[in-house]
Structure 1
Amino acid sequence: MATQIITLIGVLVGALTSFLATAAAERAKFRREMTTRWDERKLDTYIEYVSCIKEIQRAAMEAGRAREQDKDASGALAEMESSENRRSILFEAFVLLSDERAATAAHAVNQRTWDLLRAARDQSSGVPALRAIPLVETLNVLHEAARSDLAIARG
């Protein structure tokens, strides 16, 4: 009888150990899958946001060039405003998905973008006034923060 109890306890311990090991492995697998899923979404959002900033910058410069050549800048300004509306929406997703460093960098990019928008809307602003806004520098800081958040090594 004692050997049967010892055998039963051994089977129960083995089953419990097997269950706990399988549960831990499944939990780790689930976490890896969720991390991968969110990292993919994060990367897509980062790319869309930065692309939108670049569209705003390109349209603003186009408006500045048009003014310098005494041409109509309304088409470029309309494109710039459309991209700004999209940027505003993308920013919300950016902040929800990013870490604190990337979100802070994105806030700085927003500030420079708003400076660029204000200057581009000013009828007297040409390309030199628009180039004076340090948007590229703040984008470089954002790129670095995004790479860090996504654990993308450089080199």
Structure 2
Amino acid sequence: MATQIITLVGVLIGALTSYFATTMTERTKLRHLMATRWDERKLDTYIEYVSCIKEIQRAAMDAGRARDEGEDASAALALMEEAENKRSVLFETFVLLSDEKAAAAAHAVNQRAWELLRAARRPSNGAAPLRSIPLVETLNVLHEAARSDLTITGNAPASR
């Protein structure tokens, strides 16, 4: 009878060990899956946000160019405003998903984008004043912060 009890205790210990090992493995897999899922969402948000900033920049430059050439800039200004509305919404997601460094860099990009928007909205300004706003430099800082947040290593080319 003692050997049966020892055998039963051994089976019980084996079952518990197997259960805990499986549980720990599944938790680790779930944590990894969740981290990967959020990293994918972060990457998508970062790409959308930066693309939106580029749309604002392009439309503002087109508006300035149109004014310099004496043409109607309303279509470019409408595109710029549409991109700004989209940027505003994307920024909230960006801040929710990013780390502090990337969020701070995005705040700096917002400041430069707003300067660009103000300059493009003024009828007297042309493309030359718009070019003086250092948006590209702040975007480069944002790219670096986003790469760090996503733990992407290696050298990246500067944005254009």
TM-score by length of 2: 0.94
Report the counterpart of residue 57 of structure 2 in structure 1: 57
Distance 1:5 1:104 in 2: 64
Q: Secondary structure at the match of 1:125?
A: coil
Q: For structure 2, list consecutive stretches of 5 or more residues without a partner in the other structure.
A: 156-160
Please report how far the alpha carbon of residue 100 of structure 1 lies from its aligned counterpart in structure 2 after TM superposition.
1.0
Distance 2:39 2:49 in 1: 15
Report the counterpart of residue 85 of structure 1 in structure 2: 85
Please report how far the alpha carbon of residue 110 of structure 1 lies from its aligned counterpart in structure 2 after TM superposition.
0.4
Please report how far the alpha carbon of residue 63 of structure 1 lies from its aligned counterpart in structure 2 after TM superposition.
0.7
Distance 1:147 1:80 in 2: 27
Give matches, 1:29-44, under 5 Å.
29-44=29-44
Report the counterpart of residue 158 of structure 2 in structure 1: none
Distance 1:154 1:103 in 2: 21
Please report how far the alpha carbon of residue 129 of structure 1 lies from its aligned counterpart in structure 2 after TM superposition.
0.6
Please give the per-residue CA displacement for 1:5-32, whole angstroms capped at 9, x wherever unaligned. Answer: 2211111111111000000000011111
Report the counterpart of residue 120 of structure 2 in structure 1: 120
Aligned-pair identity in percent equals 75
Q: For structure 1, list consecutive stretches of 5 or more residues without a partner in the other structure.
A: none
Report the counterpart of residue 13 of structure 2 in structure 1: 13
Distance 1:85 1:32 in 2: 34
Please give the per-residue CA displacement for 1:21-66, whole angstroms capped at 9, x wherever unaligned. Answer: 0000000111111111111111111111000000000000001111
Please report how far the alpha carbon of residue 79 of structure 1 lies from its aligned counterpart in structure 2 after TM superposition.
0.5
Distance 2:23 2:100 in 1: 32
Partner AA of 1:73 in structure 2? A
Distance 2:62 2:11 in 1: 76
Report the counterpart of residue 75 of structure 1 in structure 2: 75
Partner AA of 1:54 in structure 2? K
Distance 1:63 1:142 in 2: 25
Give matches, 1:95-134, under 5 Å.
95-134=95-134
Distance 1:21 1:138 in 2: 48
State whether structure 2 residue 17 is matched by structure 1 residue 22: no
Please report how far the alpha carbon of residue 3 of structure 1 lies from its aligned counterpart in structure 2 after TM superposition.
1.7
Aligned residue pair count: 155
State whether structure 2 residue 139 is matched by structure 1 residue 139: yes
Q: Secondary structure at the match of 2:154?
A: coil
Distance 1:148 1:31 in 2: 20
